[in-house]
Structure 1
């Protein structure tokens, strides 16, 4: 009786153009990165907020479709958006939008060749986090003042 083989083993083997077998190198995975390091954390959060912001646009589509569908459909969406869960989702979208925007501006500076020095990279990273918190809270304060 043969021993079962690990299915992942097939992904690590390949053939050269001359047909000889070769073992592919493994890429480092998440366990080798320090997730609290500013560059890693910023990169991962930028990706997460980009996905969250993209998924959040489905709420906008729901709202627009409901507005076109009639009063009952629109009232349902408005009820959800005004519920505790809806407000938490909207606040999360606000945080995602501000973080993704500020991190994008930081990345734009990198594209122009600025901010690669380690102290600058850490200070701009902290500025993105602080700016996200401040602008998110300010956005909601203004929303409650003008639309509340």
Structure 2
């Protein structure tokens, strides 16, 4: 019989001890914000349809928006949309060659997109409440 090859396997599988680079976190958040935005389209279209259906529908939609929970959801949707837009613009600038595709520029632009999202999120909170 032939020799068996001993395979080297990872020893540490505890994901909480692994530190992802900011570029990886940015990429993951961009995908998550895209999914949130996609799901939110259904919620927003339902609310828009309700508000445009009749004067009573508008009052119902206004009553729905008075809830703290719904305002919090709306703030989350706007925050996800802001991040998705900021990160998407960042990716397009890289794709079109306006930002260099180096690790340093990627790191700085990821931090910038996250910082811009914090500012836009605060503005969205002011707008919703």
114, 119, 123: which one aligns with 1:138:
123
Task: Indicate the structure with greater strand content.
Answer: 1
> Any idea what the Cα deviations from partners look like across 1:22-79, whole Å, max 9, x if unmatched?
xxxxxxxxx6xx5632222111111111111111112221122212332333333222
The structure with higher relative contact order (CA 8 Å, sep 6+) is: 2
1:63–1:74 Cα contact (<8 Å) kept: no
Q: Secondary structure at the match of 2:100?
A: coil
Report the TM-score, using the length of structure 1 for normalisation. Answer: 0.66
Report the TM-score, using the length of structure 2 for normalisation. Answer: 0.75
Distance 1:138 1:67 in 2: 24
Larger gyration radius, structure 1 or structure 2 = 1
**Aligned ranges for residues 21-60 of structure 1 at < 5 Å?**
36-60=20-44
Distance 1:35 1:76 in 2: 46
Long gaps (5+) in structure 1? 1-30
Long gaps (5+) in structure 2? 1-14
Q: Which runs of 4+ in 1 moved over 6 A?
A: none
Count of paired positions? 112
